[in-house]
Amino acid sequence: MNHEIHERHEKILFKEECYQIQGAIFDVYREMGCGFLETVYQECMERELATREVPFVSQPELKLHHKGESLRPIYKPDFVCFGKIILELKAVKEIAPEYKAQVMNYLKASRLKLGLLINFGSYPQVLTTRLAL
């Protein structure tokens, strides 16, 4: 039984990278709490990720394609960290299904495997939802 738990534990995608990101998320929430607009958390996360030397791109443009041709609409997730993890920030009372669908669409458009949907609007703690393709 311990072997099974160990095996599942080893299969967590980008475990160390997520641990570093989660530390930044917790520090931002500890400092700011809930109740601010998403743009406030965006700037705080930029500063916290930079302080922790987590490589990130803020609001990168993701092009969509249909049958090999580029489409005009562009997706902009809040962050791509380590070149492989999408972060989408929210500051809402609760996470609606369309927010999860938004992250899944970002994953499909970017061909990345893992997204973190972070809700700074929850109380008494920040909530992070892992979404994987």
- CA nearest neighbour of 36 among 131, 107, 121, 129: 121
For residue range 57-70, list pLDDT tens digits in order. Answer: 999 999 888 898 98
Q: What is the DSSP string of 70-110?
A: EEEEEE--SEEETTTEEEEEE-SSS--HHHHHHHHHHHHHH
State the total domains in the chain: 1
pTM: 0.88
- Average pLDDT score over the chain: 91
* pLDDT over threshold 60, residue 132: yes
- For residue 6, pLDDT beyond 50: no
With 70 as the cut, is the pLDDT of residue 3 above it?
A: no
Residue 78 has pLDDT above 60, yes or no: yes
CATH number for position 119:
3.40.1350
Structural domain range at position 63: 2-132
